[in-house]
Structure 1
Amino acid sequence: MIIGTDITQGILPFEREEQDWRELTGWAYQDLTDAADRVDVIWYGLNQQLK
């Protein structure tokens, strides 16, 4: 089980290093999702199975 934090909300960071970290994290989440048998999003306590 892997639990990730949603980082898609808010303003894009000004500093290049923070932008790169955010981009790399997004790519990692995509790779994890591709490899996973099941993917769920839990938002405000409500579960939604995506895969």
Structure 2
Amino acid sequence: MLVMEGFEEWIKQELEQGRDAEHILSQFNTLLGQVRQSEAQRRQSDENSVVFLIMLEMGRGIVPLSALERTWRDLNGWLVQQGSSLSDHVYYIWHGLGKKLK
């Protein structure tokens, strides 16, 4: 089992280092592709091999005043969408209550 989390902090660090949104999205898509390929290879020998992505929803619809914070929130949302589209199962968990979305 592999559990990956902290994507929002990675995005923030990338933005603070001056990376643009396209670069960050490209990096993330490459990472997800590598993770999916590795998971598929591991499943050939162990059908219980699984990867969990823990990704945060940020903002709950509130738009930040700072341009950096808006970009940070937007990027996080786009990455969550990309991770969800590539996942077999998606759950939304809020205050300990889970809802299966996919």
TM-score normalised to structure 1 length: 0.84
Q: Would you say how many aligned residue pairs link Structure 1 and Structure 2?
A: 51
The CA RMSD measured in Å over matched residues stands at 1.3
| One of 64, 84, 99 as aligned partner of 1:33 | 84
Quote the residue 2:59 is aligned against. 8
Give me the whole-angstrom Cα distance separating, in 2, the residues matched to 1:10 and 1:35: 24
SS state at 1:25 partner: helix
Give me the whole-angstrom Cα distance separating, in 2, the residues matched to 1:15 and 1:8: 13
Give me the whole-angstrom Cα distance separating, in 1, the residues matched to 2:81 and 2:74: 11
Deviation at 1:11, TM superposition (A): 2.8
Higher Cα Rg, which structure: 2
Quick check: which one's helix share is greater? 2
Give me the whole-angstrom Cα distance separating, in 2, the residues matched to 1:47 and 1:31: 20
TM-score normalised to structure 2 length: 0.46
- Percent identity reads 37
Matched, 1:17 2:65: no
Give the direction of change, closer, same or farther, for the CA distance of 1:30–1:10 in structure 2 (3 Å limit): closer
By relative contact order (CA 8 Å, sep 6+), the higher-ranking structure is: 2
Structure 1: runs of 5 or more not aligned: none
Deviation at 1:10, TM superposition (A): 5.8
